[in-house]
Homo-oligomer: A and B are copies of this chain.
Amino acid sequence: MTVFDDGIALERTADGLLSGRTVPEWANMVGPFGGITAAALVRAIELQPDVHGQPVALTANYLAPIADGPFDIAARAVRTNRTNQHWYVELSQDGEVKTTATAVFGIRRDTWGDTQLVRPAVPAPDEVPAGSIGPTWMANYDMRYVAGGIPDGTDGASASSETLLWLRDNPARPWDFASLAAACDIFYPRVFLRLGRMLPAGTVSITVYFHADTETLDAQGSDFVLARAQAQQFSAGHFDQSAQIWATDGALLATSHQIVYYKA
């Protein structure tokens, strides 16, 4: 039972909901780290008695900050097909919805496959120093920035919006679909990097496509994954970012996209 497991721990309540609570170790600037919330939503579906298949896609929408304390998750299978299942999920506190999500779970089948993206060539994790600055929750990860580390106030503006880092849970923990969802939200806001300073910003909606299956995750174990994110456009108070999570051996485990609110 690591701090990650503690962050996504859920208990079934009498009314069929799942009950969780925020833990101080996952605190972000306002409310908990969005990635741990996304992970709890994945876990909430995995815990349903009628779950069918494994995560294929998740879209989580952050409606309002989650306050310190308990929350409830209601997960509903809207439709179950032979090879996939569609979910709608709401996370609430005192009857107020704080997060919504849709998810697709599916059966993986043997098919032709190929990867179009090329994994960036990078030094091995043990050749990259650990990063340390950031909000509380970052202590729950071993983060080793290859490029695009958190600007420290002397870095100035950057033409690039790319961040590339080796990442694993701290303490190390075998990767699963829940922790992979969290990893997709690991990147501090791209606008900090572009402008070389911190400013108000927060994820509004994140989508994760899970390419890994159980066997791929088992092969990955608790080793470092390579995480990369880059913005696409900043305009009128929102920017979007695309991200990829690669296995140590080069397999593409997940791709992810998010739209982020900012003031600048």
Contact = CB atoms under 8 A, between A and B. Distances in A.
Contacts of A52: none
A117 to B, nearest CB: 5
A62 to B, nearest CB: 9
A114 B236 contact: no
A259 interface: yes
Interface residues of A, number: 61
Copies in the assembly, this chain: 2
Interface in A20-64: 56-57, 59, 61, 63-64
Interface string A231-257: 111111110101010000000100101
A209 B86 contact: no
Contacts of A244: 232
B88 A63 contact: no
A81 interface: yes
A261 interface: yes
Contact of A264 (B104, B112, B261): B112
A173 interface: no
Contacts of A195: 112
Given A102-B102, A111-B263, A117 B232 contact: yes
Contact of A261 (B84, B207, B232, B257): B84
A116 interface: yes
Interface in A98-112: 100-102, 104, 106-112
Interface of A: 56-57, 59, 61, 63-64, 78-79, 81, 83-84, 86, 88, 90, 96-97, 100-102, 104, 106-117, 161, 194-195, 204-205, 207, 209, 211, 213, 230-238, 240, 242, 244, 252, 255, 257, 259, 261-264
Given A57-B204, A111-B234, A114-B233, 7 more contacts: A83-B237, A104-B259, A106-B261, A109-B237, A111-B262, A115-B234, A232-B244
